[in-house]
Every structure is written in C-alpha cells, then in structure tokens.
C-alpha cells in the first residue's frame, strides 16, 4: 500500500507526480523539521518557482517563518545567507495545534471539563425597535 498511497494521495507527503516534476530542479536547503526546499524554472511573472516537500503530513504551519519568507519571495536568497543569525531570546515556531488534543481551550470549555460562568446581571438582550 505504501507505493500506491504515494502515487494517489497528496495528504501524506509528495506524490509520485510531484517527485517526477522536481527532476532537474535545484535542492536549495532543508529546515530543522526535515522539510526540503527546491527551486527551478520561472512562473508567468518571471519569478523563480519554489517548492517545499514536507517531511510528514502536508501542513503549511510546519514551514518555519524564515523558509515561508523564501517560498513567498520576501527574501531572495536562502534564509541561512539572507537573514541575520537567530537571537538567544527567540523561541522556535510552533505548528498549528487546532483540532489536536494539545489545542488551547479556555477554562469554561466543555471539552476541558470546566463549568461555564453564569451570565452577569448587567446583560440585557437587544430587541428590534426597543
């Protein structure tokens, strides 16, 4: 099933067609998560085409900010050469946790097992024409 899944599905990684399309393109780098980045050819505006091949699930929030900037032509050269070094106070980016058990839930959320606060006495419902 591994080969068939690679041929027909896109959500678990790059398909076979994507790998064929990357032949002759330049591999320009890899990030700390193992995602690989490629460049080659030109788009209709004359900009170089850029790709990311995810290491794992295809989730755009797993692209670090510096490589996002490169993918979207905000910086021209690869991040290791175009950006200043990371400062010691900077924290690593986090993936989008929405929909996972690690997602943030407020204290009154029913999924968290909390109780919602009662309505305050100063609330008055709006009625049209009042």
Residue from 118, 121, 94 nearest 108 by CA: 118
Q: What is the pLDDT of residue 72?
A: 93
Q: What is the pLDDT of residue 1?
A: 46
DSSP letter for 128, please.
T
Q: pTM higher than 0.75, yes or no?
A: no
Q: How far apart are CA 81 and CA 83, in angstroms?
A: 6
Average pLDDT over residues 114-130: 74
Q: Which tens digit of pLDDT belongs to each residue from 100-114? A: 888 888 877 777 777
Q: Which tens digit of pLDDT belongs to each residue from 21-52? A: 677 788 899 998 899 999 988 889 898 999 88
- A 10 A CB-CB count for 95 gives 14
Query: Percent of the chain scored above 70 by pLDDT?
Result: 78
Q: What is the pLDDT of residue 119?
A: 67
CB 38 within 8 A of CB 25: yes
């Amino acid at each position: 099933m591994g080969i068939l899944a690679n041929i027909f599905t896109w959500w678990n990684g790059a398909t076979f067609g994507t790998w064929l399309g990357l032949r002759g393109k330049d591999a320009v780098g890899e990030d700390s998560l193992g995602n690989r980045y490629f460049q080659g050819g030109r788009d209709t505006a004359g900009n170089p085409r850029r790709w990311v091949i995810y290491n794992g699930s295809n989730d755009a929030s797993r692209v670090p900010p510096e490589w996002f900037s490169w993918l979207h032509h905000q910086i021209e050269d690869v991040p290791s050469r175009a950006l200043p070094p990371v400062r010691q106070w900077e924290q690593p980016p986090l993936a989008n946790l929405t929909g996972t058990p690690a997602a943030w839930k407020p204290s009154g959320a029913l999924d968290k097992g909390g109780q919602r606060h009662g309505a305050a006495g100063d609330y008055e419902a709006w009625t049209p024409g009042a």
